[in-house]
Amino acid sequence: MKCPFCLTDDSKVVDSRPTDEGTVIRRRRECSQCTKRFTTYEKIENLPMMVIKKDGRREAFNSSKIMSGLLRACEKRPVSVRVLETMVQDIEKQVYNSLEQEVTSQYIGEMVMEKLRNVDEVAYVRFASVYRQFKDINTFLDELNKLLKEK
């Protein structure tokens, strides 16, 4: 690490401590040339997760979009916001743990539907009708029949 005072690239760490709930390490350094002290911070570099949309566009992953879709699907349903927040956190964790830089919107949509199916079937059908773009009543009935067969 270069000293900001004399630009020598030889310094030693005098003190280290975690900050920001352990996500950043603060280091006090001392220059071996001029003996002045300075502070550096070390943190994990988070590269943005990109979502590939159906039309091929790419945009940054945004968990608030998942939450707004869930809120619309669960409108007037007995599903607490805490349950929805947990679902969003689980999906976000799964997306980032995929170790990919890009995921498809279909991948995310399928995860949302899987979680909704286990929480509220009406909300699941609402979400599926928009996500899968049901064209007519027969498509809607097919999805309902799949739900009934699973029971």
112: in domain? yes
Q: Which of the given ranges, 35-39, 94-98, 115-119, 122-126, has the highest pLDDT on average?
A: 35-39
Residue 73 and residue 60 in contact, taking contact as beta carbons nearer than 8 Å: no
The pTM score is 0.63
Domain that holds residue 17: 11-43
Work out how many domains the chain is built from and give that number: 2
Per-residue confidence band for 147, with pLDDT thresholds at 50, 70 and 90: confident
Distance between CA 127 and CA 123 in Å, rounded? 6
Say yes or no: 20 and 93 in one domain: no
1: in domain? no
What would the mean pLDDT of 33-41 be, rounded to a whole number?
A: 96
Distance between CA 83 and CA 142 in Å, rounded? 28
Q: Which of 20-34, 41-55, 62-76 has the lowest mean pLDDT?
A: 41-55
Say yes or no: 103 and 60 in one domain: yes
Please give the single-letter amino acid code of residue 12.
Answer: K
- Give the mean pLDDT of the chain: 89
